[in-house]
Amino acid sequence: MRKALFPLSLALAQAWPALGPMEAARLAQAHLRVPTPPEEVSLSWPGGRPVYAVDLARGRGLVQVYVAGDSGKVLGIKPLKEKALGEEAWLKAPPRVSFQEAAALARKALKVQDPVAEVAYQVWRGRPVLRVDLGPRQAVLDAETGALLEVGPAGR
């Protein structure tokens, strides 16, 4: 039997959504009728389906709106315990590095081929970043350049 050229995780490629993160954010904003930009937009694959979680300020609190990455349908809303951080945490423009590019850069930096558990776009230490969870580790990338900023445990 021939040895596979690609690891199994690559053979079972994840479905990347047709919808971009800022499109999902606009749909969430329209659904809640809030004008403020999101504080975080993350993508995960519960049950194998791409779903965005968009964190929006509502009053002084945050609400997470779940948007299907394949259809744009709002799947649900959940109030969060965290307080809204305000304008310094708002994501006003899409990242220059796509979520899919960030996953490839993170895999290269971490030297793994694990499937992506989550990609999150947020402001960290005053700059927009993409956090990519791969297995037990997380790569934090600059959202404008793709440069690796930090490696740590997943889920931070």
pTM recorded for the entire structure = 0.89
Instruction: Assess contact for 131 and 120: CB atoms under 8 A.
Output: yes
Residues 83 and 26 in one domain: yes
Query: Which range of residues forms the domain containing residue 72?
Result: 21-89
Residues 75 and 33 in one domain: yes
Residue at which a domain ends, from 64, 89, 114 = 89
Residues 76 and 115 in one domain: no
Mean per-residue pLDDT for 136-142?
A: 97
Distance CA 23, CA 113 (A): 28
Domain count, the chain: 2
The predicted structure's pLDDT at residue 13: 61
Asked whether residue 72 is domain-assigned, the answer is yes
The predicted structure's pLDDT at residue 129: 98
Residues 54 and 32 in one domain: yes
Residues 83 and 136 in one domain: no
Evaluate the CA torsion angle 38, 40, 41, 47 in order and state its sign: negative
Asked whether residue 58 is domain-assigned, the answer is yes
User: Is the confidence at residue 119, as pLDDT, over 50?
Assistant: yes
Mean per-residue pLDDT for 43-52?
A: 95
Asked whether residue 109 is domain-assigned, the answer is yes
Task: Give the CATH number, domain containing residue 52.
Answer: 3.10.450
Residues 67 and 107 in one domain: no
For residue 45, what are the contacts with CB-CB under 8 A and spacing of at least 6?
Answer: 14, 15, 51, 116
Model confidence pLDDT, tens digit, residues 76-99: 999 999 999 989 899 999 999 999
Residues 81 and 27 in one domain: yes
Average pLDDT, the chain: 90
For residue 119, how many other CB atoms are within 10 A of its CB? 25
For residue 94, how many other CB atoms are within 10 A of its CB? 16
